[in-house]
Amino acid sequence: MRAPPLLLLLAACAPPPCATTAPTPPGWEPATDAPWCPYKVLPEGPEAGGGRLCFRSPARGFRCQAPGCAAHASAGRSLRASVLRNRSVLLQWRLGPAEARRVRAFALNCSWRGAYTRFPCERVLLGASCRDYLLPDVHDGVRYRLCLQPLPLRAEPAGAPEPAAPAECVEFAAEPAGMREIVVAMTAVGGSICVMLVVICLLVAYITENLMHPAFGRPGLRRQP
């Protein structure tokens, strides 16, 4: 028994099943023996002192999929920011095994571009086991710049201090959610109006062709004297 042509067409157009279930690439996942990520949100100003120690569970198996997510990577490709539609940003980074053993913490600096200059936002100190961090709310249409710098282990008293690794930076701008919804709504309304106009034009053409012409175009309907 042959399958209907419509089923064959749907099967040919369907995406492969592994496109949405692919695991996170190696190196981006936190270690299995690190169920928590310790971090501190530092207050603004160097004289404010250290922040309160907090813990968060790492985001395992996360996939950034369009259209609900837009991914941005740093120049070194070791830091990426996934901007979600709910105006939250998941920051993820990866390190090699040898580099990870020499890191005691990560310093995250955030800034956003205003009309004339940049303004600082959140500063976070993360533990060595952390591989991601969530920014819960960002402003629409603002250009953000996030820089992550690994902090080396403290050297022994007799040893030379280990140089700090350069910071990786990623820039992004969150798409305005309100404007996106307006564009989608206007597109839907415009499509409905176009369909209605086509139907009206076809109806007018039908009426003109079938109801108007027979009454005036047939010579056999002339009135006899």
pLDDT at 115: 74
Per-residue pLDDT tens over the stretch 75-98: 988 999 999 988 899 999 998 888
Positive or negative: CA dihedral 28, 130, 122, 75? negative
Name the 3-class secondary structure at 115: coil
Per-residue pLDDT tens over the stretch 3-40: 443 333 333 333 333 333 344 555 566 777 678 899 99
Q: How far apart are CA 191 and CA 182, in angstroms?
A: 14
User: How many other CB atoms are found less than 10 A from the CB of residue 138?
Assistant: 20
Q: How far apart are CA 162 and CA 148, in angstroms?
A: 18
Whether the pLDDT of residue 190 is over 80: the answer is: no
Domain ranges of the chain: 37-154+162-175
pLDDT at 162: 64
Q: How far apart are CA 99 and CA 144, in angstroms?
A: 27
Positive or negative: CA dihedral 176, 177, 178, 184? positive
Global confidence as pTM: 0.63
Name the residue among 117, 119, 113, 68 with its Cα closest to residue 90.
68
Determine contact, residues 88/138, Cβ cutoff 8 Å: yes
- Tokens read off for 174: 């969150």
Give residue for tokens 């395992």. Answer: 60
- Tell me which of 2.40.50.320, 1.10.10.10, 2.60.40.10, 3.40.50.300 is the CATH number of domain 37-154+162-175: 2.60.40.10
Name the residue among 133, 124, 168 with its Cα closest to residue 58.
133
Virtual CA dihedral for 92, 98, 99, 103, nearest 10 degrees? Answer: 100
Per-residue pLDDT tens over the stretch 60-69: 888 898 888 9
For the chain, give the percent of residues with pLDDT over 90.
29
Question: Is the pLDDT higher at 154 or at 144?
Answer: 144
Q: How far apart are CA 43 and CA 30, in angstroms?
A: 27
Determine contact, residues 85/70, Cβ cutoff 8 Å: no
In the chain, the amino acid numbered 166 is P
Range 115-126 average pLDDT:
86
In the chain, the amino acid numbered 87 is R
